Amino acid sequence: MDTHGRIIFVPTPIGNLADITLRGLEILREADRIACEDTRHSATLLSHHSISGKPLISLHDHNEARRAPELIAAAQQGETIAVITDAGMPGISDPGYRLIQGCIETQTPFEVLPGPSAVITALIGSGFPCHAFHFGGFLSVKSGKRRSALQAALETGETAIFFESPHRILSTLEILNDIDPSSRVCVARELTKKFETYHRGTAQEVLSHFQTHAAKGEIVLLVHSAS
C-alpha cells in the first residue's frame, strides 16, 4: 500500500457476496477506515470475508455533503480510506459523487477500482445491443416523467437501462406497451442472487407476464426499439 493518504472507491457485490475482486478485498483489509452507505449492511460483507476491527463511518445521501470534507481532511493527513456502498459501484445511483468532486477540487489523491455493476451485468444478460447504450438511473415516481423518459429512450435507437421499483414495474410496463407494444423489453431481477431471472420479449409480452406474476426484488429494466 502507498504510504500517502488517499481515498479509494471499492465496488461491492450486487448480490452474491463472492463477487468482489481480490484487489478490493486487499484495500478493505489495509484501509485505515471504511466509509459505508449503511454500516450494518456493510458489516455483513466484511464479516463474510473475515475483515474485522476496521473503523466504519457512514456516508450516505443525507450526510455526504457534510462528511466529504472530513474524509478528505483525513486522507490529506495520511489515512487510506475505502469507500463502499450497499451494492455495486459507488456513485452510480449511490453516494460518492460529491466526495469525488471534493477530491478533484482539493487535489486529494483518489482511485476507483473496477468491479460489479448491475448496469453492465443486466446489459450483457439481456442480449440487447451493447455497442452503445444509455443509463437513465431510477425512473421517476411520476408517471408523466416516466413516459417522457421511456419515449425518449425508444427514440434513440440504443439500449436504455433504468432501475425500477417492483411496486411500479407493472405501471411502467403499461406505459411502454401504450407507447410501443412491439418494443423489446427485458426485466432483469435479483441479479447474481439465488432467484435471478431475465424476462425478455415485447412490451406486450412482458406486461402480460407481470400482470399474472407479481414482481419482487431489485429490478433493472432494459428497453430497445423494435424498429
- Residues 148-166 as b or e (16 or more Cβ within 10 Å = b): ebbeebbeeebbbbbbbee
Complete DSSP assignment for 120-185? HHHHHHHTS--SSEEEEEEPPSSHHHHHHHHHHHHHHSSEEEEEE-TTTHHHHHHHHHHH-TTSEE
Give residue for cell 427485458: 186
Answer whether residue 91 shows pLDDT above 70: yes
In a domain, 60, yes or no: yes
Q: What is the CATH number of the domain that holds 81?
A: 3.40.1010.10
Query: Are 154 and 58 in a shared domain?
Result: no
Query: Are 143 and 168 in a shared domain?
Result: yes
Greatest alpha-carbon pair distance for the chain in Å reads: 58
Grid cell of 52 as nine digits: 474485522
Structural domains counted in the chain: 2
**Over the stretch 194-217, which tens digit does the pLDDT of each residue have?**
999 999 999 999 999 999 999 999
In a domain, 58, yes or no: yes
Query: Are 108 and 127 in a shared domain?
Result: no
* DSSP letter, residue 88: B
Residue 157's nearest CA partner among 224, 90, 76 is: 224
Query: Are 103 and 131 in a shared domain?
Result: no
Q: Are 38 and 60 in contact (CB under 8 A)?
A: yes
In a domain, 1, yes or no: no
In a domain, 103, yes or no: yes
CA distances from 108 to 63, 94, 102 (A): 20, 21, 8
Last residue within a domain, chosen from 61, 78, 112: 112
Using DSSP's 3-state secondary structure scheme, residue 67 falls into: helix
CA distance 62 to 18: 29
Query: Are 127 and 179 in a shared domain?
Result: yes
Mean pLDDT, the chain, integer = 95
Q: Are 214 and 150 in contact (CB under 8 A)?
A: no
Side chain identity, residue 89: M
**Over the stretch 135-192, which tens digit does the pLDDT of each residue have?**
999 999 999 999 999 999 999 999 999 999 999 999 999 999 999 999 999 999 999 9
Query: Are 79 and 128 in a shared domain?
Result: no
Query: Are 97 and 146 in a shared domain?
Result: no
Q: To which H or E segment does residue 9 belong?
A: strand 6-9
Query: Are 19 and 50 in a shared domain?
Result: yes
What average pLDDT score do residues 216-224 get?
A: 96
Range of the domain at 207: 118-224
Q: Which pTM was predicted?
A: 0.90
The Cβ of residue 7 has, within 10 Å, a number of other Cβ atoms equal to: 27
Grid cell of 174 as nine digits: 403499461
Query: Are 51 and 101 in a shared domain?
Result: yes
